[in-house]
Structure 1
């Protein structure tokens, strides 16, 4: 019931903002008045159940301070910024109050009858209030028949002489005297509590018995005829002698859990002047039925022989955070009932066969965070009831000592190989080791009854082609994250590693540098429900690669470009955040699915964004419109018209094609002559603008003679008055002596267009490729196409794609080829001149973002 009330209070306090209660207000059930500068109790509704008044300036509480609040169960009046005076029957108008919190106040005046009338009070908090011994001797708690918890920690109490009214507190189960200045407790002081049962008696951090000499024969047993579930005497600086005297003094008192943490017992590392506990230290507890003993956070260096011999009923022993380096023979003899042993965070370097003898009932041993490097083979083999062995974060290099267990923790060690696997286990934790070969994974998958296997943060990267999978019908969860499976799989082997795992439900493959998934790698995982491919380098998911019953998929932080929604038909949860989506029309199907699917998409919409093209970087996919990509809808309205025109157009087209194909050179000459005659009075030059040249012709110096005859003589005005263009090229217009890069930059930026004549010599010329890159940079800067690429000769698409800067251009833009037929040269040069003179307009940003289609023409 007490735990339930604590939980309820926590829910109330945390959930208050969720109910929409603003500060310094109330809603009928909860009144929230923290930090409101109040100097007196506010008037609230009589239906109020929780009244929170901490962090104010209330200085006086009297019988008339509160209205009659019959429903009130929680009153929080702690941490007032002014000294507090509490008068007689100050809370009598709160008859059903269950929790009263007065903690962290400076209580100057507290009337002995201040709490009268609170017959239903369950918990009273008076911690850190500056209270003295008078609070115990003055009868302040009389008539509190329902009081179960009393917190008097962090006060100025020096003595525990109790008023006789404590005998009447039959409901009292928990009393907290921690962080006071109680140097001694003797039998006479706690007489009013004799015959009672306590769930907690807290005497932590009082310097109890450590600052004064004690005549134990006169002091006797302070807990005589008392039954304690938990007695906390930690942090009192007890030595072996004090512990031994105290154990003898409380002989026969029933204490289920004894907490002696933060003690000073033990010689520590490198010292011998302070004793380690011996077989007499805890002998006095042999009639106390101690079930749990906490000796953590001390300086015990050696566990001496039969040190716990008298603790026949002990089930849980905590020795963590000591300096234990040696376990003597028969150290645990007598602990026939011990089930849990915690020796973590110590200085053990090796374990011997005899270390754990005398533990017939042990089920859990925690040895993590030691320095264990050597373990004899039979150390654990005789512990027949051992279920869990935790050896994480040690220096273990072999596993030949492992018996058959339910749970094995071996993470954070120095395992390079796994030999002699002759045990069974349900759960194996092997993360943060140094395993490289997938052969160890194949071996581990053969362990009978294995349900969970964790191999995260190893170095799995090597595959032996001779490995063959074996069937494992018990494995349910497999963790292989943060390895290097890509290196193993790219060899073409070990693609069948999951073949026999037909009952596997959870699989983690995150952070494995994967840029592909082997075909059929998940084919046999018919029971797989959850798959993590997070933080890899996947660009696509092949159709049918995912298991048919998969429900949860994490493929975030990859490089997905255009996922196919058909791959996600079985999912209920999907995480595709922080990928590198290309927002072109190819992605429109996925975007439409994303806005309509019933699958739960994990993460914020802002975490699913475009990475290309540049104008869409960072834009959420949920903000993208796909209307212009619906080609079927656009074409539907044109189909009828196209059908009518098709017959006529086809006939004319065939005739025209035949004529133009056969006599295209003559046709173009006639067309050109007619054009000049009709428009002979019109100026043929280009419009004046800010550019010095119409075009910068970039070509290899080895092609100069051919370029001059084929291009310059027909286009450049300095070669002929009939030509239309003012051209720039290196042999004539570059400034001698000037830095070559500077000449290239000047030519690119002072010309309307840049024409790159890509030949075999061009591809071998570093300066030409550098100029090509500068022209591309200007394209990105001006947001228009100022680069014209002309391919000369029999260069194939493959030869062009070998060059990174050219590859990126030809994938996204049109380029020209020098005609092979001589009759096409005139037409080609005319079109090239028109393209050079064509003015490009910068793209404007639309308020409504739409996908832009980039056409790839080779």
Structure 2
């Protein structure tokens, strides 16, 4: 009968489409009249199956209130805003009613024959109706032969003396008397239930036995002859004495699950006036076949020896949210069948080898949210059936005590390094620790049979040596979010971290400060289906970066400017929200794809918006038009003219180049001589500038001597009055004791231009690379070319492009090279000075290189 009721509830509440119905209406099957100010039962169609009338003003229900509704299964008549009278046979016109809900009504009059004529009623809800004990004593529920659940919680019932008609309710499975004031309960009161099997009997928060003195010998066993699958006695303020007396008087009664949560057993922390449970407290349950015992939310401080020794059949013991600080020897003696032990949210600090003796079959131990800092080596190794150990949110600094088990939860501890112990787990959670070295990740990836590895919110950032990767053919999900993988990767280290993970299906790399993805980093991830790269600093994605079989990609909250839509063509789901799109014509292929693709795009269209230009800031990309971005049509009229100009220019350039290369030193000397003769009376006068310096020279400290002799002495006014530039460099102008980043920022933003002398030492200097990033960032912010790159030495293009920090700049901007021939140095210095003093203008929104800005659709 209970299974049938569960099925019916599923049909009524899960499959109900009533959320789409207008209020105060009916569709022939469902009549929805909640909050309609009704004072009487409305007329509904005879085909109605569910009638919902809560939150109205219906004060009277009698035999004529309802028309004949033979198909009605659910009647909801609770929470009326006026006192209600329910007359004789009030529901007789509802012969097939299954659920009757009258909860939270102020029932002023309830006729003893009110529920007659309901032979198929399965559930009756009368909670919070101000009913007294009379409703139990005077046979109000007689003839309800199908009744399975009766809810009388939160009423004014003081006695559970049942009418003899309860003996005839053979389908009754669940009764809830919680939140009443029932001070005592003795054998004679529940006699009509003798011989019945109930799935639930609720006496929660009834003050049972806790406010009166009880003669236990006279009262005797109230559950004699009954089999209770669940008996809820929570929140009754039971002490050890009351619990012990109760367990003694119910000797022989079968209780499968006993809930005693929110008790006051135990001395708590720092008190001694209330006893902790001892070996006599639960002794009376020896013959009750208790499988589940819930003692959570109490004050137990010490688990005494042999406290559970009589509970031979116990399979689940819940001791969470107590104050347990001590586990005595043999505390779990006798629990030979226990499978689940929950001791979370207690005050345990240390665990010893003998703490869990007597648990030969325990498979799951929950010790999370204690204060455990140390565990002896053999503590769990004698538990041969243990498969899951939960030690989250403790203070562990080592894990050499971990036995060979399948599932290990270790997040929220203080682990800095992992000892190379023998792991056999297929699920390891190590998030929210302090792991820094990627050696720990390499070690974990060698664990055989490992399927799930969670390392979120650690500090993975160093890769001091080269570790040999090995194939892991079992790993399916790897979580590395909120670490710092950018640091080793930008130094070219640990690029093989995913080598051999051929069966990996899910990978999380979000929030790792990633500026780039190493080439071939995902080459072995042939089975990867989901990849999260959200909340990083990626500006571009290379065409061969993503795995071929990838289906779900999260690349939200990055800095993508103009992504290539073909990268996403094979995906099923994509999240690309909250990026920094530059809404110019370079973005038109992506916009076209965005409006035509079959890929499921997560997030609101409003979250895919422009960051530049300012006129389109915050505008959704979906609202942009690409009609003005046809480059071929715009350039067609210029093709012939460009051909002629290019031919002439190429010929002149070729002749000029030959002459300049052959006699470039002499040419430059002549040019300077003529300049002095023509402008000898003119003196260089620099206009007042908003900048403190004309240029900030950024170079490695190891190149200082060369830079001083080759550049600074010939350009800086403080070296010679013949020079005309005010230069800034670290060795002279940085403020001692000031934060280095602050000095760099002040130099970059306080200078007209930034000159980076890129040498081999520069590429190895982290501060130089950081200054390069700030200068490049200023270029993007001001939309001015304020960064001048001078390549010094024999650095090849390949060597420069290996460094992601400068790669993005070199792909789009020109740079200078220090001349190899000494005759070119004078010309080079003059050219460099001109670049520094040249006032850059903001990039126009329309020019020959960049097409018209996208316009907003009206």
TM-score between both structures, scaled by the size of structure 1: 0.78
> Deviation per CA, 1:104-126, whole angstroms, max 9, x where unpaired?
11101000000111111111100
CA pair 261-797 structure 1, distance change in 2 beyond 3 A: closer
CA pair 767-73 structure 1, distance change in 2 beyond 3 A: closer
What residue is the counterpart of 1:679 in the other structure? none
SS at match of 1:408: strand
SS at match of 2:625: coil
What residue is the counterpart of 1:779 in the other structure? none
For residue 225 of structure 1, report the CA deviation from its aligned partner: 0.8
Give the Cα separation in 1 of the matches to 2:595 and 2:337: 61
What residue is the counterpart of 2:714 in the other structure? none
Asked whether 1:591 is paired with 2:591, we answer yes
What residue is the counterpart of 1:613 in the other structure? 613
SS at match of 2:165: helix
Give the Cα separation in 1 of the matches to 2:420 and 2:114: 72
Give the Cα separation in 2 of the matches to 1:603 and 1:98: 43
CA pair 465-93 structure 1, distance change in 2 beyond 3 A: same
What residue is the counterpart of 1:30 in the other structure? 30
Give the Cα separation in 2 of the matches to 1:308 and 1:133: 37
CA pair 117-519 structure 1, distance change in 2 beyond 3 A: same
What residue is the counterpart of 2:6 in the other structure? 3
What residue is the counterpart of 2:507 in the other structure? 507
For residue 5 of structure 1, report the CA deviation from its aligned partner: 3.3
SS at match of 1:108: strand
For residue 292 of structure 1, report the CA deviation from its aligned partner: 0.4
CA pair 708-769 structure 1, distance change in 2 beyond 3 A: farther
For the 8 Å contact 1:533–1:554, the answer to whether it is kept is: yes
SS at match of 2:481: coil
Asked whether 1:78 is paired with 2:81, we answer no
Aligned residue runs from structure 1 range 245-644, under 5 A: 245-632=245-632
What residue is the counterpart of 2:18 in the other structure? 16
- Larger Rg computed on CA atoms: 1
CA pair 588-143 structure 1, distance change in 2 beyond 3 A: same
For the 8 Å contact 2:585–2:853, the answer to whether it is kept is: no
Give the Cα separation in 2 of the matches to 1:842 and 1:540: 22
For the 8 Å contact 2:526–2:549, the answer to whether it is kept is: yes
For the 8 Å contact 1:585–1:852, the answer to whether it is kept is: no
> Deviation per CA, 1:71-119, whole angstroms, max 9, x where unpaired?
1111111111111000000111111111111111110100000011111
CA pair 730-129 structure 1, distance change in 2 beyond 3 A: same
What residue is the counterpart of 1:68 in the other structure? 68
For residue 17 of structure 1, report the CA deviation from its aligned partner: 2.2
Give the Cα separation in 1 of the matches to 2:439 and 2:73: 64
What residue is the counterpart of 1:144 in the other structure? 144
> Deviation per CA, 1:525-556, whole angstroms, max 9, x where unpaired?
11111110010000011120111111111111
> Deviation per CA, 1:605-659, whole angstroms, max 9, x where unpaired?
1111111111121111222222222224556x769xx67x89xx84998599989
For residue 322 of structure 1, report the CA deviation from its aligned partner: 0.4
- Which has the larger displacement, 185-194 or 461-470? 461-470
Give the Cα separation in 1 of the matches to 2:185 and 2:336: 33
> Deviation per CA, 1:152-171, whole angstroms, max 9, x where unpaired?
00001000010111111111
For residue 31 of structure 1, report the CA deviation from its aligned partner: 1.2
For residue 580 of structure 1, report the CA deviation from its aligned partner: 0.6
CA pair 202-609 structure 1, distance change in 2 beyond 3 A: same
Aligned residue runs from structure 1 range 122-161, under 5 A: 122-161=122-161
CA pair 710-146 structure 1, distance change in 2 beyond 3 A: farther
Tell me the matched-pair count.
717
> Deviation per CA, 1:491-533, whole angstroms, max 9, x where unpaired?
2110101102111111110100010111111111111111100
Give the Cα separation in 2 of the matches to 1:497 and 1:324: 43
Give the Cα separation in 2 of the matches to 1:788 and 1:615: 15
Give the Cα separation in 2 of the matches to 1:294 and 1:433: 31
Aligned residue runs from structure 1 range 670-709, under 5 A: none
Aligned residue runs from structure 1 range 165-314, under 5 A: 165-314=165-314
> Deviation per CA, 1:248-268, whole angstroms, max 9, x where unpaired?
111111111000111111111
For the 8 Å contact 2:625–2:855, the answer to whether it is kept is: no
For residue 466 of structure 1, report the CA deviation from its aligned partner: 2.5
For the 8 Å contact 1:206–1:236, the answer to whether it is kept is: yes
> Deviation per CA, 1:217-265, whole angstroms, max 9, x where unpaired?
1111111111111000111111111111111111111111000111111
Alignment gaps of 5+ in structure 2: 657-671, 692-716, 718-722, 729-745, 754-781, 792-807, 815-838, 847-851
CA pair 710-268 structure 1, distance change in 2 beyond 3 A: same
For the 8 Å contact 2:561–2:581, the answer to whether it is kept is: yes
SS at match of 1:136: helix
Give the Cα separation in 1 of the matches to 2:470 and 2:117: 74
- Which has the larger displacement, 522-531 or 562-571? 562-571
For residue 812 of structure 1, report the CA deviation from its aligned partner: 11
Give the Cα separation in 2 of the matches to 1:524 and 1:656: 48
Give the Cα separation in 1 of the matches to 2:380 and 2:38: 65
SS at match of 2:404: coil
Give the Cα separation in 2 of the matches to 1:187 and 1:275: 29
- Which has the larger displacement, 31-40 or 340-349? 31-40
Aligned residue runs from structure 1 range 706-855, under 5 A: 761=724, 764=727, 851=854
CA pair 707-255 structure 1, distance change in 2 beyond 3 A: farther
SS at match of 1:628: coil
Give the Cα separation in 2 of the matches to 1:197 and 1:211: 29
For the 8 Å contact 2:103–2:129, the answer to whether it is kept is: yes
Give the Cα separation in 2 of the matches to 1:789 and 1:514: 26
What residue is the counterpart of 1:94 in the other structure? 94
Give the Cα separation in 1 of the matches to 2:420 and 2:212: 58
SS at match of 2:255: strand
For residue 8 of structure 1, report the CA deviation from its aligned partner: 3.6
CA pair 708-244 structure 1, distance change in 2 beyond 3 A: farther
SS at match of 2:70: coil
Give the Cα separation in 2 of the matches to 1:652 and 1:556: 44
For residue 570 of structure 1, report the CA deviation from its aligned partner: 2.7
For the 8 Å contact 1:626–1:850, the answer to whether it is kept is: no
Root mean square deviation of aligned Cα: 3.7
Give the Cα separation in 2 of the matches to 1:402 and 1:267: 32
Give the Cα separation in 2 of the matches to 1:62 and 1:56: 17
Aligned residue runs from structure 1 range 38-57, under 5 A: 38-57=38-57
For the 8 Å contact 2:420–2:443, the answer to whether it is kept is: no
SS at match of 1:629: coil
CA pair 788-74 structure 1, distance change in 2 beyond 3 A: closer
CA pair 651-564 structure 1, distance change in 2 beyond 3 A: closer
